[in-house]
Structure 1
Amino acid sequence: MRTGPFFPPKTISWYMARLFIARSAGVLAGLIIVLMALDLLGESGNILAYPGNGDAALWHYVSLRVPQLVQRFLPFAILLGTLITLVAMNQNSEIISMKAAGISAHQILAPLFLASLAVAALSFWFNDHVVARATAALSAWQDVDYGKVPDHRGIVSNVWVRAGEDLIHADTVTGRGARTVLHRVSLYDRAGDRLMAITTADTAAQGHGGWVLRNVREFNVGQGTVTPRPTLVIGRGVTADRFTLSSVDPDGLSFRALNRAIGDLRAAGRPTASLQTVLWHKLSGPLSAFLMPLLASVAGFGLARSGKMFIRAVIGMALGFAYFVADNFALAMGNIGAYPPLLAAWAPFLLFLLIGEAVLIRTEE
């Protein structure tokens, strides 16, 4: 039996990759069904509490929640799928047969690495095009307590900005840069702890070094009078990015959109470290699927009759879960600025890649 430098024979490669993908998909489907059922039991009361919501609203929630569960638990499914595949092959002496034919441990795992790399690429596309949109839609739906969500794109809603002692509120903000327009604007004129006046306007646009309000109505709190004005300039020195970039949800943005938002924030002189961490994690996160076969490989080698198969499987599972703990810890440290963004996103992946490779070489090669 001839083998290549990196892969086992084609028949064995297809057999292992097919077995690995099928079992990982089965594990993922089982996890999603159980977790979605538990999640729906806890959230269905809130969804149905809104008048008019029924079965269609529950199915809509499921359609938005399932992509998030797939994103979160795909690496777990890959880990368990690898463990199931390798343990079964070891118990059936398939691993021993391949090693007797001169196939090394790295060659045995090569089809799993290639298949998991394809899964990682598919996962990145899925997270970027499906999960980000589902997360944004679900967040908007939850913000209105599962009621009707206004169908607006590229609009920031419910924005508060501080201008000195005053507060400016806009129901919605459209446009970017010099074309930014505030809609249904309210200015709360304060002097210390006292509210002096409340000014409302239909729209506001940049001009005269501030924001020009149109169709103004000024309510004087002390006198109890309302004074109409055609225009009024407020918020001098308040830039447009303070309205358009007041809240950036990185989980609800694609890789390109988040990168653009980070560029806008950086140009405005605002901190972006936590967002950069999430940006890099959008790449390292899907690649964790590539890491799982290596961490679980300890369960596939060694003699099945030695009585240590269960211990090996537990070690493989422990390595996988230790990676997830380290990854979440590093991500949290990056979000609070304790770790640099690149270190927070990539250090756990590289660390456990070295650990998995060292364990494989030490125990088998």
Structure 2
Amino acid sequence: MSINPRFFASPTITWYMAKIFLVRTFAVLAGLVLILQTLDLLGESGNILAYPGNGDAQLWHYVSLRAPQIVARFLPFSVLLGSLITLATLNQNSEIISMKAAGVSAHQILAPLIVASLFVAAGSFWFNDRIVARATATLTAWDNADYGPVPVDRGIASNVWVRDGDDLIHAATASGRGPATRLSDVTIYDRSGGALQTIISGARAAQADGGWRLLGPTRFDVARGTRRQLPAIVFGRGITPDRFTLADVDADERSFGALRIAIADLQAAGRPTGELEAGLWHKLSGPLSAMLMPLLAGVAAFGLARSGHLFVRAVIGMALGFTYFVVDNFALAMGNLGAYPPLLAAWAPPLLFLLIGEVVLIRTEE
């Protein structure tokens, strides 16, 4: 038996396998979205219709916002199931045996599915970045308004904390953008070596002289326990308005580029960003996990090809895929808690299962 050294066995086999794989994957995805969206709408329709004036239009609006989230969440599952169905069908029809008898290796059999998954991953990233993030932000705001009219976002941030060296600055509200930013109920905690020295508070502050001018401030001396009125002072030189006006950031509600900018602003403000960094990297590793699904499904099929138990092979392939999703969610949760570094939380699961899949495939089939 001769071995074909090329990446793909042949153009005919490549197009044939990629086509049936994509058809099965998106058929499974359509079925999952239809079922899960129906169940989700049944559970949420009562809350939507509870708001006076809501009707069918609001239900369809909810579907248009929720469906992209379901698609994004279950697309990797659909790739896994599509891979299992494709490989099981090919094996049942003895097509895999025929390809191997013609000198096609296990990697060449899986290559069309993996390359097709790469295009699925690219489309998934674009879909998540351009559609899912906006839909999530809109649905969250609508849910917070109890499915009534969504208040206009006037760009007002509340309860803002900014670090300036050892000092801490708190503003009850921050409104406006750029040079027009205004702060209200400002409190400056002057610290030295971690010990609180004085507390300066004022009603309003605005940008001036490269910093922020605080009007009508009062100073409380912690050591002496005395309070006195001060003239207008300038504090926080070099602190940009974005560090005050940046509201709470949710990784699911931001595109990749917007999330990167938000993380940079938060880091400049001295706030922890580990959870957001893990979410940022997972925006890349999540879609790319689709490329692992044919390998994990193929490992089960090829490894037990000689036993003839097709159902057992499908169960093992499904177990491998679902184990990956469990490990991926666990690692992301550890990253959110700060137990794992962001890069490790996002990339360790796909790299680990890539090695597992390759080792088992090579030892059993190559």
Judge same fold: TM > 0.5, yes or no. yes
1:206 positional shift: 3.3
Q: Give the match's secondary structure for 2:109.
A: helix
Contact preservation (8 Å) 2:88, 2:301:
yes
Q: Give the match's secondary structure for 1:322.
A: helix
Contact preservation (8 Å) 1:280, 1:341:
yes
Matched with 1:40 is 41
Q: Give the match's secondary structure for 1:59.
A: helix
1:149 positional shift: 1.6
Contact preservation (8 Å) 1:3, 1:9:
no
What letter matches 2:110 in structure 1? L
C-alpha separation in 2, matches of 1:44 and 1:175: 38
Matched with 2:177 is 175
Contact preservation (8 Å) 2:157, 2:245:
no
TM-score (norm 2): 0.81
Matched with 1:148 is 149
Contact preservation (8 Å) 1:89, 1:300:
no
Matched with 1:53 is 54
Contact preservation (8 Å) 2:65, 2:138:
yes
Deviations 1:224-248 (A, max 9, x none): xxxxxxxx97996596445423411
| RMSD of Structure 2 on Structure 1 (CA) | 3.0
C-alpha separation in 1, matches of 2:156 and 2:141: 10
136-145 or 241-250, which moves further after superposition?
241-250
C-alpha separation in 2, matches of 1:340 and 1:167: 29
Matched with 1:129 is 130
Q: Give the match's secondary structure for 2:38.
A: helix
Matched with 1:221 is none
Q: Give the match's secondary structure for 1:120.
A: helix
1:254 positional shift: 0.5
C-alpha separation in 1, matches of 2:362 and 2:264: 43
Contact preservation (8 Å) 2:332, 2:346:
yes
1:361 positional shift: 1.4
Contact preservation (8 Å) 2:214, 2:235:
no
C-alpha separation in 1, matches of 2:252 and 2:245: 17
Q: Give the match's secondary structure for 2:296.
A: helix
1:53 positional shift: 1.1
C-alpha separation in 2, matches of 1:56 and 1:336: 40
1:330 positional shift: 0.6
Segments of 5+ residues of structure 2 without an aligned counterpart are 188-201, 217-230
C-alpha separation in 1, matches of 2:182 and 2:74: 41
What letter matches 1:349 in structure 2? P
C-alpha separation in 2, matches of 1:305 and 1:359: 15
2:335 is equivalent to residue 334 of structure 1: yes
Matched with 1:160 is 159
Q: Give the match's secondary structure for 1:6.
A: coil
Relative to structure 1, is the Cα distance of residues 20 and 211 closer, same or farther in structure 2, using a 3 angstrom cutoff? farther
Question: Percent of pairs identical after alignment?
Answer: 65
Structure 1 segment 86-235 matched on structure 2, within 5 A? 86-152=87-153, 155-157=154-156, 159-161=158-160, 168-170=171-173, 173-176=175-178, 178-181=179-182, 205-207=206-208, 210=212
Deviations 1:117-157 (A, max 9, x none): 010011111111111111111111111111112454xx544
TM-score (norm 1): 0.81
C-alpha separation in 2, matches of 1:168 and 1:277: 28
C-alpha separation in 1, matches of 2:304 and 2:340: 42
What letter matches 1:122 in structure 2? G
1:363 positional shift: 2.0
Relative to structure 1, is the Cα distance of residues 151 and 14 closer, same or farther in structure 2, using a 3 angstrom cutoff? farther
1:160 positional shift: 2.2
Matched with 2:10 is 9
Segments of 5+ residues of structure 1 without an aligned counterpart are 189-198, 217-231
